[in-house]
Structure 1
C-alpha cells in the first residue's frame, strides 16, 4: 500500500501534523509505505504562482497521483481548512484523487469547527475525484498533550483514528491487535 500524507498546517509544531504522523505510523505498521508532504515546506512562491514545473511541486503532485491512500490533515481556522492546504490542492489535476482511499484529519479549538471538514474540505476532495472518503477524524486542541516528542493525541483520539483506518486494515491482524 502506497500512502501519502498531506500536512496542511502552516505552523510547527502542529497538532494536525502530529495526528497525521500517527495515522501514517499505523498504516506503516501493517506494511504500507508512506511519504509525508508538509505543504509549508514546499516553496511558497511556486505554490502561490502555480508554477507547475517547479521540481519540488512536480515531485509532490506525482507522489499524490501514485498513492493508493491519501491522508489529508489540516487545522481549522475561521471555520475552514488552511489556505496553505487549499493552495496545494489547487495544483492537483482535476482527477488527482480518483481511485484513492482518502482519510481526512482535522484539529481545531472547539468541536464547533468539526463540520468545516464535511462542508468545506470534503467537497473539494470530491471535486478532485475522491469517491472513497473514510470517516473524518477531528480532535480539539485540548485533546493533545505537548511533550518532548511534540503534540501527542489523547487515547480517545487514537481510538477514533483506529476506527477510521479500520477499512484499510481489516485484513491485517497487526493493526487490529494494536487498536
Structure 2
C-alpha cells in the first residue's frame, strides 16, 4: 500500500489563501515521505451540498478521503472555531470513520488569540471520527499565509521538525 497525503479545506471562499497554504503543506509532507499527494478538496466548490448526505459528489469525496493516510484538515478560524462548512462535511462521517487516518489540524486566523482553535475545537472533532494527529496541529497567522515566501518558510520549518516522525508514520502505514 502506498502512503498518500491529501488535504481538506473548509474555507467557504473558493480558491482561498487557506487552500493555497494547504496545497503547499500537502506537497511538502508528500515530498518528506517520498509519496504522491492526493488532491486537496476545496469544500467551497460544494457549498450547501455538504448538508445533503445523499449528494453523490460529496459522498464520493468523503469515501475517497478515507483512503488517504495523512490528511491535512484546514480551516480559517471564524468566531473562535472551525467553519460551519467543514463541520457540516465532517458530520457526514460516522464515528470512527477516519480511524485509519492520520490528520494534521491546520488553522489560519487573523488574530494570534485564535492560535489554539485547532487544538481546542478541531482536534476533538477529528478524535470523534477516530483520526489521530501524532504530528500535532499547525496554526499560521493570516498575515503569514498572505506572504508566499514567509508561508512556505514556516511550512517547511514545521515539516522539517517532524521529519523523523513523518518517516516513522509513513513506514508504519505502508
Q: TM-score range by the shorter chain?
A: 0.7 to 0.9
Question: What is the deviation of 1:64?
Answer: 1.6
C-alpha offsets along residues 51-80 of structure 1, whole Å, 9 cap, x if unaligned?
A: 333221121111121121111011001110
Segment drifting more, 115-124 vs 22-31? 22-31
Segment drifting more, 25-34 vs 152-161? 152-161
Count of residue pairs brought into register by the alignment: 166
In 1, distance between residues paired with 2:87 and 2:66? 17
1:89 matched to which residue of 2?
A: 90
In structure 2, stretches of 5+ residues that fail to align are: none
**Pairwise CA RMSD of aligned residues?**
2.4
In 2, distance between residues paired with 1:100 and 1:171? 11
1:6 matched to which residue of 2?
A: 8
Question: What is the deviation of 1:171?
Answer: 8.8
Equivalent residues in 2 for 1:99-138, closer than 5 Å: 99-138=100-139
C-alpha offsets along residues 83-131 of structure 1, whole Å, 9 cap, x if unaligned?
A: 1111101011211210211111111012110111111111111011113
In 1, distance between residues paired with 2:10 and 2:164? 23
In 2, distance between residues paired with 1:47 and 1:53? 9
In 2, distance between residues paired with 1:18 and 1:11? 12
2:28 matched to which residue of 1?
A: 26
Question: What is the deviation of 1:32?
Answer: 2.4
1:56 matched to which residue of 2?
A: 57
Alignment counterpart, residue 43 of structure 2, candidates 30, 36, 39: 39
Q: State whether structure 2 residue 161 is matched by structure 1 residue 163.
A: yes
Equivalent residues in 2 for 1:148-159, closer than 5 Å: 153-159=151-157
1:142 matched to which residue of 2?
A: 143
In 1, distance between residues paired with 2:169 and 2:107? 26
Contact in 2 for aligned 1:2/1:67 (Cα 8 Å): yes
Contact in 2 for aligned 1:100/1:130 (Cα 8 Å): yes
In 2, distance between residues paired with 1:56 and 1:140? 32
In structure 2, relative to structure 1, the CA distance for the partners of 1:133 and 1:93 (3 Å cut) is: farther
Larger proportion of strand: 1
In structure 1, stretches of 5+ residues that fail to align are: 173-179
Segment drifting more, 125-134 vs 71-80? 125-134
Q: TM-score, normalised by structure 2?
A: 0.83
